[in-house]
Amino acid sequence: MTSTDSAQTPAKAPAKDPWDLPDVSGLVVGVLGGTGPQGKGLARRLAMAGQKVIIGSRAAERARAAAEELGDGVEGADNAETARRSDIVIVAVPWEGHGKTLESLRAELAGKLVVDCVNPLGFDKKGAYALKPEEGSAAEQAAALLPDSRVTAAFHHLSAVLLLDPEVERIDTDVMVLGEDRADVETVQALAGRIPGMRGVFAGRLRNAHQVESLVANLISVNRRYKAHAGLRITDV
């Protein structure tokens, strides 16, 4: 290569730092199923970190009562209003009502960043076991039902007990985040990082959500054996 050739070759842009995440502090976060333990715990931690949070329920009165209990500026509303007023919507409803709830909110969730954290599980005498939805996972079901939303998956492996415990100041765990769009995934990673001790880690596209959702069955077994509230840490990242 001559010096002239070298001068004409454009310099390669440096690789983006995967930990260079956006500022999400000004975004409004809605939590569908915010009166249940997981949703309420997430709402509490995000509000404590300074995020504006609205919790949703089928009954607005129930949501408002739960919001008043949480404090930190949390508001309560019915699911439809919560979806309309939020920039990011976390889906933390029971698996049994997952599809029906999302289908009923398709219009309100259009254009929203949706974060599905639902774990399809069954229980019998042997304990918890993973269910596989027809679409492949809860997150893929959400994507199929919400064609005008940007669906991601995250927050599956968090202990509601720790999230709600006022004595616990840090939640030392990693959050596996899945999605199709890098910017959306990074937004969710940044949201997870707002909670002290927590870190959001990219873990693939939505087609890989099933095994992430299913892992909760294993964590339930761990918790029962060791009387713990186990989470995950990704090493060497």
In Å, how far are 52, 107, 111 from 82, measured between CA atoms? 12, 13, 14
Confidence of residue 9 (pLDDT cuts 50, 70, 90): low
In Å, how far are 120, 144, 174, 199 from 136, measured between CA atoms? 11, 11, 23, 26
Q: According to the model, what pLDDT value does residue 14 have?
A: 76
Confidence of residue 8 (pLDDT cuts 50, 70, 90): low
Checking if the pLDDT of 10 tops 80, the result is no
Query: Quick one: CA dihedral 228, 38, 61, 70, positive or negative?
Result: positive
The answer to whether the pTM exceeds 0.75 is yes
Pairing of strands 52-57, 28-32: parallel
Query: Which positions ≥6 away from 65 have C-beta within 8 Å?
Result: 76
81-94 exposure pattern, b = at least 16 Cβ within 10 A, e = fewer: bbbbbbebbbbbbe
The mean pLDDT value for 62-86 works out to 96
Distance CA 17, CA 213 (A): 27
